[in-house]
Amino acid sequence: MELTRLISVLFFLLVITAGSSASPQHWRKKRVREPCKKLVFYFRDIIYNGHNSKNATSAIVGTPAWGNRTILAGQNHFGDLVVFDDPITLDNNLHSPPVGRAQGFYVYDKKEIFTAWLGFSFVFNSTHHRGSINFAGADPLMNKTRDISVIGGTGDFFMARGVATLSTDAFEGKVYFRLRADINLFECW
Amino acid sequence: MELTRLISVLFFLLVITAGSSASPQHWRKKRVREPCKKLVFYFRDIIYNGHNSKNATSAIVGTPAWGNRTILAGQNHFGDLVVFDDPITLDNNLHSPPVGRAQGFYVYDKKEIFTAWLGFSFVFNSTHHRGSINFAGADPLMNKTRDISVIGGTGDFFMARGVATLSTDAFEGKVYFRLRADINLFECW
Amino acid sequence: MELTRLISVLFFLLVITAGSSASPQHWRKKRVREPCKKLVFYFRDIIYNGHNSKNATSAIVGTPAWGNRTILAGQNHFGDLVVFDDPITLDNNLHSPPVGRAQGFYVYDKKEIFTAWLGFSFVFNSTHHRGSINFAGADPLMNKTRDISVIGGTGDFFMARGVATLSTDAFEGKVYFRLRADINLFECW
């Protein structure tokens, strides 16, 4: 009676437990798509154009045969490879103090439209954050939002994995733009 | 009697369950090496050589001091950095409609033999697939097959991790080649 | 009495088990930060300077407008992109036999100080190790130690994830350096 019912409940719980604990081994189960950490940052990029060496935060270092390194190439900049060291801020105010640096490269990789491939890190070394977040992925930059991968992290972001949604917050001509990065981590340690 | 036996069974199940559920925390246990998703694609690359701008899907944008950007460099192209935007197809028929684009870069990185390092994405935006798969890794391209890493994904391939096996399906001279990519994902969300 | 106590114990165990098995699904729980594999390697890099083609293991293949490809650029080499194929050894003895190759690229990415962004692989094909480890991340190389991400692996290092701590073991002038890599994997399959 009482006892039998209790045992039934126990058995039921056991089955539930066994079911959920088996899934991580096969990596098949849909896991909860809820971020374990959410972060928002802004970073801005000014490409060197031959006349702005003081303000420039990036430079063209590779171009196709038809390009040069002080002006973005024709055909939607296809082949231009840009190295950058951009200030990161917590909001989109130009005068906000940088909290870190976005460092790495991007390469324009389509002739018909603007699109790029990015490999870079957010590097932090302040009281807010210490460590780095590493990113890679395609950035079809004419889209309002586009997702790239968080492929790893160190320090405060040890072993992080997730998705960063980029959106162009502002731009002026071809050499200045500001991006907003909504970082959602789905693996936190 | 009956009851005692039932309790024994319960206890046995408990031990099993506890054992398997503890392992993911330590990441030590050999997990099942069975893909949660398998995909096969083909993509083809035509390097710009100064005369094929209409057909070319890629261009040399960096070379060592001894190279130039319209012909692959000596010493097994060591140092040549190529940016590409290649059509992806479901089979190796030249006339098959593209289902996406392979976008990114590779760099030849050995003097004695052909070998490369790749950073790129498969970008999909059709009814079949929407989202991207991001890759990185060494491609010793004289080997029949070589494995690179799936380092992340977005959209339909959200948070994907796995291994892609590349094989050269066809090539003509030095500027045209077609690769087959057997993608095996081992982490699916 | 006896029985009730036994059931209590069972129930207690159940709760524990259920608790631990639920965590992997949410990826929230702090997991044990103990490596499942530890490896130490050394690799050395000699940049081509126009006169050392025999010994050089790397070459500058991209530079900003103010640079050239046989000498590292001013402003802390900002924008110089270097492709490398460096021998890996088990210790820091120059005469030790290589056990693999470090292959990929790095780009200097700050004007005010030496710092770089790396994308590369350790490629092994011997009795010791077979397969590759793929790395990406920021390398603020004036720091005594700096952490980059292990973003994937193949063969013996199938699906590896972790952190590699780099330290400069030796350097001579601007074209030769040797790095020590302490690789700690936290996900092993």
User: For position C175, what pLDDT does the model report?
Assistant: 87
pLDDT band at A4, cuts 50/70/90? Answer: low
Which uninterrupted H or E stretch holds C6?
helix C2-26
Mutant choice from C8, C21, C182 vs A, greatest count of A C-beta within 10 A = C21
C180 Cβ under 8 Å from any chain A Cβ: no
B37-93 pLDDT, tens per residue?
A: 999 999 999 999 999 999 999 999 999 999 999 999 889 999 999 999 999 999 999
Rounded Cα distance between C156 and C123, Å, is 11
Rounded to 10 degrees, the C-alpha dihedral A46/A47/A51/A52 comes to 30
Q: Which residues contact B54 (CB under 8 A, 6 or more apart)?
A: none
Q: Which residue of C3, C104, C159 is in closest CB contact with B186? A: C159
Total number of domains constituting chain B:
1
The whole-angstrom separation of Cα C10 and Cα C29 is: 24
**Does the distance separating the beta carbons of A163 and B158 come in below 8 Å?**
yes
What domain range includes position C156? Answer: 34-187
pLDDT tens-digit readout, A47-92? 999 999 999 999 999 999 999 999 998 899 999 999 999 999 999 9
Q: Could you tell me if residue A154 is inside a domain? A: yes
From chain A, the residues in CB contact with B188 under 8 A are: 27-28
- Is residue B182 included in any domain, yes or no? yes
Chain B hits for C7, Cβ within 8 Å:
7
* pLDDT tier for residue A22 given thresholds of 50, 70 and 90: very low
Instruction: Judge whether B98 lies within some domain.
Output: yes
For chain C, the chains sharing at least 3 beta-carbon pairs closer than 8 angstroms are: A, B
pLDDT at A29: 43
Share of chain A above pLDDT 70, in %: 83
Q: Does B17 score more than 90 pLDDT?
A: no
pLDDT digits (tens, 9 = 90+) for C29-69: 456 789 999 999 999 999 999 999 999 999 999 999 999 99
Q: Is residue A2 part of a domain?
A: no
Residue A145 to residue B154: CA distance in whole angstroms: 12
A131 pLDDT band, cuts 50/70/90, is: very high
Write the DSSP symbol of residue B165.
E
- What is the rounded CA–CA span in Å between residue B124 and residue A152? 23
Quick check: is B42 in a domain?
A: yes
The enclosing domain of A85 has a CATH number of 2.40.480.10
Angle at B134 between CA A63 and CA B184, to 5 degrees: 140
How confident is residue A174, by pLDDT bands cut at 50, 70 and 90? confident
In a domain, C19, yes or no: no
Alpha helices per DSSP H over A81-146: none
Domain membership of residue C20 (yes or no) is no
Q: Is B5 among the domain residues?
A: no
At A7, list the tokens: 């045992």
Residues of chain C contacting A59 with CB distance shorter than 8 Å: 64-65, 78-79
pTM: 0.87
Which pLDDT does position C19 carry in this prediction? 41
- pLDDT value at position B26? 44
Binned at pLDDT 50, 70 and 90, residue B30 comes out as low
Distance separating alpha carbons of residues A40 and A181, to the nearest angstrom? 6
Q: How far apart are CA C113 and CA B158, in angstroms?
A: 37
Shortest Cα distance, chain B CAs vs residue C159, angstroms: 6
